[in-house]
Copies of this chain bind each other. A is one copy, B any other.
Amino acid sequence: MVDIATRVWNHKWKIDPIVRSLIDTDFYKLLMCQSVHRNKPNTRVTFQLINRSRDIRLADLVDEGELREQLDHIRSLSLSRGESTWLRGNTFYGKRQMFSPEFMAWFEELRLPPYTLEKRDGQYRLTFEGAWPEVMLWEIPALAVLMELRSRAVLNQMGRFEIEILYARAMTKLWEKVERLRTVPEIQIADFGTRRRHSFLWQDWCVQAMIEGLGESFTGTSNCLIAQRREVEAIGTNAHELPMVYAALADSDEELAQAPYQVLADWHEEHVGNLRIILPDTFGTKGFLEHAPDWLAGWTGVRVDSGDPATAAETAIAWWKARGEDPTQKRIIFSDALDVETMLDLQRRFTDRARVSFGWGTLLTNDFRGLVPNDALKPFSLVCKAVSANGRPTVKLSDNPEKATGPEDEIARYKRVFGVGAQTPIPVTV
């Protein structure tokens, strides 16, 4: 058993790397990386860290020297023999050799590219530039480092015993959630909490809690390192960065309109079954589905990641019906801003109408709300996104205008091209 409080206490007097492995990242990053490595290896991208929670002044909380030390440590990492063996030998989503020998040979040689870091307005401006397959792998470790350094900054103000009580309370809080969830034996939940986790050890503990508490209802974790260590499934499919970069590379409005479908056409060639999950909201779910080619309706399911989740699920169900598909054979994966009550509500509402599952993120691995004074450990909305590709800005609209990113004129153009009408703003907290 890891004594988390002791480890946190030790953080006060020695350097303790936050990210210690290149597979301490989300499984879907590796799947996407393989796809990008095959289809767009020479695309140049810029990824940038963006703190949507401006009130959390990271540059005041986190020492620049420590941050550089952590980032430099990540640049020193390479795939270990055991990690490579696991990626090559494991069965993912029922498939052997998910990662091709060509991709693995490249990955084994990989070191993460340089970063640039400066302070601005109490925030860090952290950017990564270079070849897409390399730069994209910075996203998760960069987020994990900033999140954990912020946690440590707060914990450094606390006494040894206060830290122990803090974790006792956080454990109790999570376990009470687990106990609520296991009243619904058919529920299916995976850990999607790597990027916003309180700390690595805490995420690892949360996964163990889910394993012990939920049994078969816990379907796995997005974190490859934890999946390896705890011998559970690595979970994930694809993310917004694929359509965002494909769209930025489009040379005309017509190509732009087709870009999100081209992403999935490439994916269709590479993957079958449960990996064929549509993420339809990058430029608005409604328009995406209306204009989707018929072969997409044959895919296994959708992931709902912004806007009102029930509305998005209804939209998907109506779309499947309109295309002659049986929604009860389709999977709907909810992955945005989930907590226990939301999951239980959605489960009740859709359980007989589709195959429901959940990717539970921030409020699984970082719910320290109400546990320290001034709520100094409350989760916040940090992202690390592709902001440009081959010199052109990227855009994301999503189903919540509060989550839109990109230059204003480009946002307007994308809204026009993708036929996005009025959207309901929903406050973004996590």
Mark A residues whose CB is within 8 Å of B: 1, 3, 5-6, 9, 159-162, 164-165, 167-169, 171-172, 175, 208-209, 212-213
Additional 4 contacts, C-beta under 8 A, given A1-B5, A1-B164, A168-B175: A1-B9, A164-B171, A165-B175, A168-B168
Chief secondary structure at chain A's binding surface: helix
Report the minimal beta-carbon distance from A7 to chain B, rounded to whole angstroms. 9
Beta-carbon contact of B159 and A165 below 8 Å: no
Beta-carbon contact of A168 and B161 below 8 Å: no
A1–B163 alpha-carbon span in the complex (Å): 11
Beta-carbon contact of B172 and A209 below 8 Å: no
Can you list 22 contacts pairing A with B, beta carbon distance less than 8 Å?
Answer: A1-B5, A1-B6, A1-B9, A1-B160, A1-B164, A3-B3, A159-B212, A161-B208, A161-B209, A161-B212, A161-B213, A162-B212, A164-B171, A165-B171, A165-B172, A167-B168, A168-B168, A168-B169, A168-B171, A168-B172, A168-B175, A169-B175
A167–B169 alpha-carbon span in the complex (Å): 10
Chain B residues with Cβ below 8 Å from A3 are 1, 3, 6
Question: Copy number in this complex?
Answer: 2
Chain B residues with Cβ below 8 Å from A9 are 1
Beta-carbon contact of B175 and A172 below 8 Å: no
Chain B residues with Cβ below 8 Å from A6 are 1, 3
Chain B CB count within 10 A is highest, among A5, A168, A175, A213, for A168
What residue of chain B has the Cβ atom nearest to residue A167's Cβ?
B168
Chain B residues with Cβ below 8 Å from A212 are 159-162
Chain B residues with Cβ below 8 Å from A208 are 161
What residue of chain B has the Cβ atom nearest to residue A164's Cβ?
B1
Chain B residues with Cβ below 8 Å from A5 are 1
Chain B residues with Cβ below 8 Å from A168 are 167-169, 171-172, 175
Report the minimal beta-carbon distance from A226 to chain B, rounded to whole angstroms. 15
Chain B residues with Cβ below 8 Å from A175 are 165, 168-169
A160–B213 alpha-carbon span in the complex (Å): 12
Report the minimal beta-carbon distance from A278 to chain B, rounded to whole angstroms. 36
Chain B residues with Cβ below 8 Å from A169 are 168, 172, 175
Chain B residues with Cβ below 8 Å from A160 are 1, 212
Report the minimal beta-carbon distance from A398 to chain B, rounded to whole angstroms. 37
A165–B171 alpha-carbon span in the complex (Å): 7
A165–B211 alpha-carbon span in the complex (Å): 14
Report the minimal beta-carbon distance from A204 to chain B, rounded to whole angstroms. 13
Report the minimal beta-carbon distance from A337 to chain B, rounded to whole angstroms. 26
Chain B residues with Cβ below 8 Å from A209 are 161, 165
A9–B159 alpha-carbon span in the complex (Å): 27
Chain B residues with Cβ below 8 Å from A1 are 3, 5-6, 9, 160, 164
A208–B164 alpha-carbon span in the complex (Å): 11
Chain B residues with Cβ below 8 Å from A164 are 1, 171
What residue of chain B has the Cβ atom nearest to residue A209's Cβ?
B161
Report the minimal beta-carbon distance from A63 to chain B, rounded to whole angstroms. 25
The 9 A-B pairs of least Cβ separation, nearest first, read A168-B171, A161-B212, A3-B3, A168-B168, A1-B6, A165-B175, A172-B172, A168-B172, A169-B172
